[in-house]
Structure 1
């Protein structure tokens, strides 16, 4: 990262590229520091994070139960596999025009698309994790007369939980990307990091503001990933110890 910033500084200083297009890294960092103390920009950050969190929560609420169901019922999984593989590759941003026709509120548009994009890694991780549950404890529980629902809750779910957590961590980054991308592409809103970048990009002299806001968005993604990874390792320390990884 330091090398990357140094290269950007040198290119900007020697005039290899017009500063209005690629300002020096020092100017971008200074602008980023100013944005982090700007109440208006912080409100945009808070808006984006709120929408991101709601979208991710919706994805978890939908994907985890559906994944448990599909993973525990191979016949149902086979029946809907084609539909899942058809919908999963569709970019969430490509659905913006369709969602706008159905939903008028900016927050709900972003939440819907973020949930759609974040749902797939959680769902796929959950389905495959349920399929890989050790059959021995499952059969033992069945021999003691436990029902399917109890086996799923007491045997399958604890084994699946670390993989679900990994899916949620991956989905959290995807949800943030889609949230900001929707703000940039759909426009028409008043709040959000994407709206801030879109407004700043309308002025050719504000390239440093655009780069600074984009850098802060990347920093948010990094902090979210680190936070999710830390929570994941603390909650499932036993899982990583069994894999021989340091917690």
Structure 2
């Protein structure tokens, strides 16, 4: 019961900020503070957004965007997490790869867009590559940090009881690194959506980004903002879904236990 009340309280606490934002969005263009011809008020955009929900082409674009996001993120998970766990577990491998990781990690994925178009063309493969590159680094770094932050006392205690290396990895190292991996996954997911839409927006790959570009080119600003609103809501939904999955998977961890009243 306490958990339900806590969830409702946390949900309702967000509504005042949303209502204030909508009120400002409605008033500022109508008062002339913002140019209404370029930024239509909320009362014009929200009905257009509602109309999108029954548009098959809109859902097709959502599917293209989520497909690139999911495949790129999946590739990063399969490559970055095992590699990060391996690097973090070996001090010599960590030293050997640190300079390379620190050099490549800050490179913006958008800077690789011309090269990706040249090599892969304007295609789904190009979008997947950009998403995979952007999401690889937060997952890799969090995996490395997670392994290196394992309590040495717990590891040494397991060794003193004769627990083998493989068993220590699965019973001590991996559970300790799990919160780091969950954080990396949430960060990577947000970056993946940004890069998927950016690739569509800049290169014209099918998806929500391309739809936004076409709406802007055609002067349909109410549609453009409705699509932008849709991208924000999709990103918010993905973040909420990952947080919920994280709370369920790591419910045993102290950071996710519900605080119960006496």
Say yes or no: TM over 0.5. Answer: yes
RMSD value, Cα: 1.7
1:198 to 213, 227, 237: 213
Tell me, in whole angstroms, the C-alpha distance in 2 between the residues paired with 1:91 and 1:42.
Answer: 29
1:27 to 44, 48, 59: 44
Q: Unaligned regions of 5+ residues in structure 2, if any?
A: 1-17
Q: CA deviation at 1:244?
A: 7.3
Q: Cα 1:155–1:245, aligned 2, differ >3 Å: closer, same or farther?
A: closer
Higher relative contact order (CA 8 A, sep 6+): 1
Tell me, in whole angstroms, the C-alpha distance in 2 between the residues paired with 1:222 and 1:246.
Answer: 23
Q: CA deviation at 1:164?
A: 0.5
Tell me, in whole angstroms, the C-alpha distance in 1 between the residues paired with 2:182 and 2:255.
Answer: 16
Deviations 1:131-153 (A, max 9, x none): 11122332244345555444323
Q: Cα 1:93–1:150, aligned 2, differ >3 Å: closer, same or farther?
A: same
Tell me, in whole angstroms, the C-alpha distance in 2 between the residues paired with 1:34 and 1:75.
Answer: 57
Tell me, in whole angstroms, the C-alpha distance in 2 between the residues paired with 1:223 and 1:243.
Answer: 22
Deviations 1:213-245 (A, max 9, x none): 011100011111111001101111111xx2475
Q: Give 1:246's aligned residue.
A: 258
Per the alignment, in what secondary structure is the counterpart of residue 167 of structure 1? helix
Deviates more, 1:222-231 or 1:17-26: 17-26
Q: Give 1:54's aligned residue.
A: 71
Tell me, in whole angstroms, the C-alpha distance in 1 between the residues paired with 2:161 and 2:116.
Answer: 49
Q: Give 1:231's aligned residue.
A: 245
- Does 1:108 pair with 2:120? no
In the TM superposition, 1:155-166 aligns within 5 A as: 155-166=172-183
Q: Normalized against structure 2, the TM-score is what?
A: 0.87
Deviates more, 1:161-170 or 1:35-44: 161-170
2:231 to 217, 235, 239: 217
Q: Unaligned regions of 5+ residues in structure 1, if any?
A: none
Q: CA deviation at 1:59?
A: 0.9
Q: Cα 1:18–1:244, aligned 2, differ >3 Å: closer, same or farther?
A: closer
Deviates more, 1:138-147 or 1:83-92: 138-147
Deviations 1:160-198 (A, max 9, x none): 1222112101111110011001111122x3x20001001
In the TM superposition, 1:1-247 aligns within 5 A as: 1-104=18-121, 106-143=123-160, 146-187=163-204, 189=205, 191-204=206-219, 206-239=220-253, 242-243=254-255, 246=258
Q: CA deviation at 1:104?
A: 2.6
Per the alignment, in what secondary structure is the counterpart of residue 153 of structure 1? helix
